[in-house]
Amino acid sequence: MKNLAQSFGEQAPLLQCTIGNHFCKIVEANPDRLALVSLNQDIRWTYAELKREVDRFASGLLAIGIEKGDRVGIWSPNCAEWVICQIATARIGAILVCINPAYRLYELEYALNKVACKALVTAEAFKTSQYLEMIQELAPELASAEPGNLNSKKLPYLRTVIRLGEDVSVGFFNFSGVCDMGLPNPNEHLHAIERTLEPEDIINIQFTSGTTGNPKGASLSHLGILNNGYFDARAMRLTSDDRLCIPVPLYHCFGMVMGVLACISVGAAMVFPGEVFEAESTMRAVSEEKCTALHGVPTMFVAVLDLPDFNAYDTSNLRTGMIAGATCPEELMQRLINELGLSEIIIAYGQTECSPVNTATAIDDTFEQRTSTVGRPHTNWEVKVIDLKTGETCAVGETGEVCVRGYGIMTGYWGDEDLTAQTIDSEGFLHSGDLGEMDLKGYLKITGRIKDMIIRGGENIYPREVEAFLYQHPSIAEVQVFGLPDIKYGEQVAAWVQPKAGAELTPEDIRSFCQGQITHFKIPKYVKIVSEYPMTVTGKIQKFKMRDQYTRELGLDHNV
């Protein structure tokens, strides 16, 4: 009988409460402990002080007519108000809708209308995006509207816009003004509301950045994101003595669940270096705040390690954190341990629809397990690999689609039952779209995306396999492999290669390196030497953009 590629995580009691309930318990146990530091805002709050700000805003939201189940969007880079809004909406049962800070007019209009946002909390601007001007363009009716009484043709569900900062904008509430509208001592009133809420209630909508079509709104519950944050904290062995540096964006699960909720679940401190990731501000935060943990995607850690004045920063307190977004290469892991002192760093794999972590390595895992796999199933989680054709569970070591099941699976895509049914099967397994394989001990390797798999003349080619081989080239820093259309074979292998600093490479160098080492049809026909890759704001490389661009560059559009 063959060993099946199916594994179960450690079993542990779930936190059977809402985010607000748990937050209040943590505050009661740790009132004077540091809770939140926002360096660029010069804010340092204890848990008691953070709760005071949360309660003021939560009570203010009630005063302006926000009720349980109402959708409240937040469109802002990282700041203390983001965290306040996250916890405050949870306390009153409103559903927080995370809006990507990079969104432009069409995307903003789509997101707000898709989930029928009643209110929007917005920053004034971010980089080149003038948020207030964009909202005013979509809703010119703001110019003659009383705050909280918007009636917009393009945004028919939106009634209230709350702006950050102290400047006054016609038709907008100010964040501080909303805080002042609530009850003087709202704690008991808020507790009464919380008693009407259930852990299974939807509390957050996260838009997934799909490669095609409009973004999908994954609906997540108190139970899902609170427990995922809690078990992330347990995996890192965080306690109330720890300080976690969070340079990753809050609008994404990495920041708001693996960061904020992980800290809140155990009473640790969250440290925000700035609005957006910068290597210098991140290291300054780590050094000055004596952070014990640091989150990031591989590209962030590389940027930090490559700072010219890296040795000027004190990293002696660092020990743990989480890497997500991509597998950690061996060379980077070695540097994280030796240069940053992150001997207990964890690799996490997941997706928004899963609240988000599915698997993670453990602090005690071997170096090889932490660099060649994404670990084993997370606590109270189940993972299996299935055959793409039959749907049966694969044997250990066979490649198939990664499917997951557990407490944190989304309730569905907001307003899209058909797409939900295509993603979550009748047994409750979410089909990830990722290709992977599992070993005898239950460790999972992610080998690519089903959509990324290259089929050349009937041969299945997994880009991750070709990438792993090319990483052995001493002059290659980064490589991304994908398929391009071909009339004869259906697809051909293409590679974008980023050389190491000071190294010189040519496409012929790459192909020569492959000759006699890997099967001929896996050798890239097309090779481009690049200095950077198109990425999301969370540091994930976007192969579909490379594929589209390179197809046009090479004039292969007619092959599509």
In whole angstroms, give the CA distance from residue 236 to residue 505: 40
List Cβ neighbours of 275 (8 Å cut-off, separation of 6 or more): 40, 77, 78, 79, 126
Q: What pLDDT score does 213 carry?
A: 58
The stretches of 64-199 forming alpha helices (DSSP H) are 80-92, 105-114, 131-138, 175-181, 187-194
Task: Give the pair of three-digit tokens for residue 557.
Answer: 């559009």
Q: What is the pLDDT of residues 309-359, one digit of tens each?
A: 999 999 999 999 999 866 788 889 999 999 999 999 999 999 999 999 999
Q: What pLDDT score does 211 carry?
A: 42
Note whether 148 and 262 are same-domain residues.
no
Q: What is the pLDDT of residues 141-163, one digit of tens each?
A: 999 999 999 999 999 999 999 99
- Is the residue at 218 inside a domain? no
SS3 for 485?
strand
Among 52-61, 254-263, 382-391, 449-458, which is the least confidently predicted range? Answer: 449-458
Dihedral (CA of 353, 35, 91, 171) sign: negative
Note whether 443 and 459 are same-domain residues.
no
Among 262-271, 274-283, 516-525, which is the least confidently predicted range? Answer: 516-525
- Is the residue at 210 inside a domain? no
- Is the residue at 232 inside a domain? no
Q: What pLDDT score does 453 carry?
A: 83
Note whether 441 and 463 are same-domain residues.
no
Domain C-terminal end among 449, 481, 510:
449
Mean pLDDT of 55-68: 98
Note whether 418 and 469 are same-domain residues.
no
The CATH number of residue 506's host domain is 3.30.300.30
Question: What burial class does residue 35 get, using C-beta atoms within 10 Å of its C-beta: 0-12 exposed, 13-18 middle, 19+ buried?
Answer: buried
400 pLDDT higher than 50: yes
Note whether 191 and 309 are same-domain residues.
no
The CATH number of residue 245's host domain is 3.40.50.12780
List Cβ neighbours of 451 (8 Å cut-off, separation of 6 or more): 211, 433
Closest CA to 547 of 298, 259, 533, 536: 533
Q: What pLDDT score does 326 carry?
A: 67
548 pLDDT higher than 70: yes
Q: What is the pLDDT of residues 176-216, one digit of tens each?
A: 999 999 998 898 999 999 999 999 999 999 998 644 457 89
Closest CA to 333 of 298, 285, 385: 298
Q: For residue 251, how far is the Cα from the chain centroid?
A: 8
The Cβ-side half-sphere exposure at 537, using a 13 Å CA radius, reads 23
Q: What pLDDT score does 361 carry?
A: 97
3-state SS string for 380-404: CEEEEEECCCCCCECECCCCEEEEE
pLDDT: is 491 or 378 the higher one? 378
Q: What pLDDT score does 9 carry?
A: 97
Share of the chain above pLDDT 90, in %: 83
Q: For the chain, give the mean pLDDT.
A: 94
228 pLDDT higher than 50: yes
52 pLDDT higher than 60: yes
- Is the residue at 248 inside a domain? yes
Q: What pLDDT score does 129 carry?
A: 86
Phi, psi of 541 (to 5 degrees): -75, 135
The CATH number of residue 174's host domain is 3.40.50.980
pLDDT: is 545 or 44 the higher one? 44
Domain C-terminal end among 416, 449, 482:
449
Note whether 151 and 271 are same-domain residues.
no
Mean pLDDT of 498-506: 94
Whether the Cβ atoms of residue 16 and residue 199 lie closer than 8 Å to each other: yes
Share of the chain above pLDDT 70, in %: 98
Q: What angle do CA 207, 131, 183 make, to 5 degrees?
A: 80
Mean pLDDT of 516-542: 87
Question: What burial class does residue 353 get, using C-beta atoms within 10 Å of its C-beta: 0-12 exposed, 13-18 middle, 19+ buried?
Answer: buried
Whether the Cβ atoms of residue 347 and residue 323 lie closer than 8 Å to each other: yes
Among 54-58, 124-128, 249-253, 387-391, which is the least confidently predicted range? Answer: 124-128
Dihedral (CA of 184, 222, 97, 259) sign: positive
458 pLDDT higher than 90: no
N-to-C CA span, the chain: 44
Note whether 102 and 75 are same-domain residues.
yes
Q: What pLDDT score does 51 carry?
A: 98
Phi, psi of 294 (to 5 degrees): -145, 130
- Is the residue at 164 inside a domain? yes
Whether the Cβ atoms of residue 46 and residue 261 lie closer than 8 Å to each other: no
Domain C-terminal end among 449, 464, 497:
449
Note whether 408 and 499 are same-domain residues.
no
Mean pLDDT of 259-279: 97
SS3 for 538?
coil
pLDDT: is 449 or 515 the higher one? 515
Q: How many domains does the chain have?
A: 3
**Containing structural domain, residue 300:** 6-13+237-449
Q: What is the pLDDT of residues 5-38, one digit of tens each?
A: 999 999 999 999 999 999 999 999 999 999 999 9
Task: Give the pair of three-digit tokens for residue 127.
Answer: 């980089």
SS3 for 46?
strand
Rounded (to 5) percent helix, strand, coil in the chain: 35, 25, 40
Note whether 495 and 429 are same-domain residues.
no
What's the whole-model pTM score?
0.87
Note whether 441 and 474 are same-domain residues.
no
- Is the residue at 334 inside a domain? yes
Beta bridge partners of 4: 395
In whole angstroms, give the CA distance from residue 295 to residue 292: 11
Note whether 122 and 193 are same-domain residues.
yes
- Is the residue at 393 inside a domain? yes
- Is the residue at 174 inside a domain? yes
Q: In what order do the strands lie in the sheet with 376-377?
A: 322-323, 346-350, 357-360, 376-377
In whole angstroms, give the CA distance from residue 318 to residue 341: 6
Note whether 280 and 328 are same-domain residues.
yes
Beta bridge partners of 34: 46
